[in-house]
């Protein structure tokens, strides 16, 4: 139920200890890095998976290193973004408990840690190869620009989030020097847009009349508009993945014409996510939904297992 406009809730500048607890600065920083969100960085393994390199220990090692690099980069970005959004987050029923919104961390601790993580991650990427360093730098610049001003531009905000997902997939490919197909990038972009728009819808419906107090850009959206956008992106995602999975070019490049057998998992996964968004008011955190909703987690696991079986087993030939 929406709050009455005449009775705004004014949140205190510091969240109560019952919500945040008394913890060390190190523990608070670790929480603010949002490790629960790092599952998004698993996209870096797409290059190894679809490039036929999962059975090569050296390439798997590079993929793991790239995963670590992007965990550090995303953590650095989360720190900057949360510091930028701290006033609005104090008006959010869930985000108000974050250490930065709760006023438990100083600017020096937050921004200093962010700088160290970002520079360390770029340096580590350069040790792998220059292409990965370039992609990592592009990711950092893009997401910092999002924190600074792109998140205030309607539609551009969602496209920027999608761009971050695409750069993760590209990073995984350039780290092990395998080509990444255009259709796979298209599917990644559309799926990321689907998640980003679903998140905006969740914020809008959860906060109701207080939505614009938390995030200014939400005044540019309505649930109906977002539903229309989500419908377009959902259909486009399914069509794009179907074309990719059944394309003769894909079969020739991957060495198997059976990738189309994974389409039912994609259908169920997207429909399950829509169900959670509309019926269970989920979607605020895709990473949290993935690890807490067992049917969705099972679907993703079965999709990954089936792709691996098709691409790496004689049964898939």
> What is the DSSP annotation of 29-47?
HHHHT-GGGGGGGGGGGHH
Q: Could you list the pLDDT tens digit for every one of the 317 residues in the chain?
A: 344 443 333 333 434 444 444 678 899 999 899 888 898 899 999 999 988 899 999 999 999 999 999 999 999 999 998 888 888 778 777 778 888 888 888 889 999 999 999 999 999 999 999 999 999 999 999 999 998 899 889 999 999 999 999 999 999 999 999 987 788 889 999 999 999 898 888 888 876 655 555 567 888 888 899 999 999 999 999 999 999 999 998 888 888 889 999 999 999 999 999 999 888 877 667 777 888 899 999 999 999 999 999 999 876 55
Q: What CATH code is carried by the domain that includes residue 57?
A: 1.10.357.140
Note whether 276 and 306 are same-domain residues. Answer: yes
46 plus 186 within the same structural domain: no
Q: What is the pLDDT of residue 2?
A: 42
**6 token code pair:** 């005449």
Do residue 216 and residue 254 come from a single domain? yes
Is 133 inside any structural domain? Answer: yes
Q: Check whether residue 277 and residue 234 sit in a common domain.
A: yes
Q: What pLDDT, on the 0 to 100 scale, is given for residue 214?
A: 55
Q: Where are the alpha helices (DSSP H) in 51-177?
A: 57-84, 86-89, 107-128, 130-148, 156-175
91 lies in the same domain as 227: no
Same domain, residue pair 163 and 237: no
Q: Is residue 98 part of a domain?
A: yes
List the one residue out of 71, 68, 63, 65 whose CA is nearest residue 46: 63
Same domain, 71 and 132: yes
Residues 228, 165 within the same domain: no
What distance in Å separates the CA atoms of residue 265 and residue 217, rounded to the nearest whole number? Answer: 34
Count of domains for the chain: 2
Q: Are residues 278 and 157 in the same domain?
A: no
Dist. CA 136–CA 125, nearest whole Å: 7
The pLDDT value recorded for residue 113 is 94
- Any domain includes 18: no
If asked whether residues 201 and 119 sit together in one domain, one would say no
Q: Which domain holds residue 145?
A: 24-180
pLDDT at 296: 94
Distance CA 286, CA 24 (A): 28
Specify whether 53 is located in the same domain as 126.
yes
Q: What DSSP element (H or E) covers 197? A: helix 182-207
**Structural domain ending residue among the three candidates 180, 206, 240:** 180
Residues 311, 50 contacting (CB under 8 angstroms): yes
The rounded distance, in Å, linking the Cα atoms of 3 and 210 is 8
d(CA 311, CA 317): 8
Residues 29, 168, single domain; the answer is yes
pLDDT score recorded for residue 215: 65
């Amino acid at each position: 139920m929406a709050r009455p406009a005449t009775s705004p809730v004014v949140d205190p500048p510091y969240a109560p200890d019952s919500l945040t607890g008394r913890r060390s600065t190190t523990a608070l920083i670790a929480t603010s890095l949002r490790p629960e969100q790092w599952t998004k960085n698993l996209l870096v393994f797409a290059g190894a998976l679809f490039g036929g390199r999962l059975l090569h220990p050296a390439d798997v090692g590079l993929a793991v290193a790239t995963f670590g690099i992007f965990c550090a980069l995303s953590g650095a970005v989360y720190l900057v973004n949360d510091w930028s959004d701290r006033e609005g987050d104090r008006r959010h029923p869930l985000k108000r408990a974050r250490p930065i919104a709760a006023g438990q961390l100083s600017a020096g601790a937050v921004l200093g840690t962010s700088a160290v993580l970002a520079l360390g991650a770029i340096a580590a990427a350069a040790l792998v190869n220059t292409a990965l360093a370039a992609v990592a730098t592009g990711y950092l610049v893009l997401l910092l620009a999002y924190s600074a001003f792109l998140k205030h531009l309607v539609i551009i905000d969602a496209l920027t989030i999608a761009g971050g997902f695409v750069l993760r997939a590209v990073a995984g490919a350039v780290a092990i020097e395998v080509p990444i197909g255009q259709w796979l990038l298209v599917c990644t972009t559309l799926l990321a847009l689907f998640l980003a728009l679903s998140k905006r819808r969740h914020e809008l419906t959860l906060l109701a009349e207080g939505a614009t107090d938390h995030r200014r850009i939400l005044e540019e959206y309505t649930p109906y508009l977002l539903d229309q956008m989500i419908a377009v992106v959902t259909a486009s995602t399914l069509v794009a993945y179907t074309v990719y999975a059944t394309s003769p070019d894909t079969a020739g490049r991957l060495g198997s014409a059976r990738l189309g057998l994974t389409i039912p998992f994609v259908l169920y996964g997207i429909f399950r996510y829509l169900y959670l968004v509309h019926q269970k008011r989920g979607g605020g955190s895709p990473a949290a939904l993935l690890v807490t909703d067992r049917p969705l987690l099972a679907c993703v696991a079965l999709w990954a297992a089936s792709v691996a079986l098709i691409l790496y087993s004689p049964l898939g030939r």
